[in-house]
Amino acid sequence: MKNETLCHPILTIKDLHVTIGEKKILKNINVSAVKGRVLGIIGESGSGKSMLCQAIMQSLPTFAHQKQGQIFYNDIDLAKLSNEELRKYRGRHLSMIMQNPSASFDSNQTIEMHFHETLKAHFTMNKKEIRQTAIYYMNKVNLPNPERILKYYPFQLSGGMLQRVMIALSLSMQSKLLIADEPTTALDTINQKNILKLFHDIRTETDATIIMVTHDLGVIAELADDVVVMYKGEIIEQTNVYECFDNPQHSYTKKLLQSRIIV
Ligand SMILES: Nc1ncnc2c1ncn2[C@@H]1O[C@H](COP(=O)(O)OP(=O)(O)OP(=O)(O)O)[C@@H](O)[C@H]1O
């Protein structure tokens, strides 16, 4: 576990409420992510984990509304920024690996064009450097023959390959805060292990902050420094990873941990 006394929050969410119609999806969310540490988010399906990630990115679906609250990235409230201002933060500062990669690719653009658009927006790189960077990160996520994949359109790749391209794209921006919403669900076991090793390396070798949403308590045990447990749109437990496993407070957290032992 990284030393928490040396670190300060890069992200602070205060009193966040999100609704869909009359339904309260996120209620009174207060949480911080500390620089250089991994915050794991766990909770049953539908508890609001993805909505929380999207609220942080200020990319909630149009039918969901942030009713209240502040989302500070350092001392900037992201919820107060215009779309144009947000564009400056997305990329080098904040990026998100989503559960469903196909939704975030443009089917009319090759993978190379996606890298080009993304990297050009955040770095001063020429075409050759963009290509080299893309190949470097595609190798990191274990994609075979990256040179060939660059020429492909998203629909020519399998879900697992597209997921890895998305991870490569996100990593290529070297964001200060990386949000990974169940990044390995579309992957087979070998690639899951490889991606988790990659997150492990980012955690130990850089001062990036990672928010990792997962159903897998093994991933939490392996990667997380801090843990948030969500239940029906609320945070019911927030602690460091050792306390979470050794001394869970909430009955739901205890149930989660017990189910892991039984399985
Ligand atoms: N497309 C949608 N239309 C209507 N309501 C939705 C939609 N997506 C999510 N919700 C509502 O938002 C709540 C939170 O959903 P969210 O996707 O954040 O849960 P989650 O914890 O990420 O679940 P999972 O682990 O299955 O991904 C859900 O219970 C649901 O009521």
Q: What is the pLDDT of residues 169-181, one digit of tens each?
A: 999 999 999 999 9
Instruction: Specify the pLDDT at position 261.
Output: 56
| Partner residues linked to 42 by β-bridges | 229
Considering only CA atoms, which residue is closest to atom 5 of ligand 1?
20
Q: Are 109 and 153 in contact (CB under 8 A)?
A: yes
Locate tokens 């690639």: which residue? 191
What's the pTM? 0.91
- Ligand 1 within 6 A of 253 CB? no
In tens, the pLDDT along 39-52 reads 999 998 999 999 99
Tell me how far the alpha carbon of residue 9 is from its chain's centroid. 16
Cα separation, 162 vs 172, in Å, equals 15
| Residues in the chain, pLDDT under 50 | 5, 262-263
Instruction: Specify the pLDDT at position 258.
Output: 86
Q: With CA atoms as reference, report the closest residue to 220 among 186, 263, 253, 173.
A: 253
Q: With CA atoms as reference, report the closest residue to 211 among 75, 55, 45, 23.
A: 55
Q: Are 189 and 201 in contact (CB under 8 A)?
A: no
Task: Kindly state the tokens that stand for 210.
Answer: 């990672």
Task: Kindly state the tokens that stand for 129.
Answer: 């450097």
- Ligand 1 within 6 A of 62 CB? no
DSSP codes joined into one string, 135-191: HHHHHHTT-S-HHHHHTS-GGGS-HHHHHHHHHHHHHHTT-SEEEEESTTTTS-HHH
Distance 139 CA to ligand 1 centre (A): 33
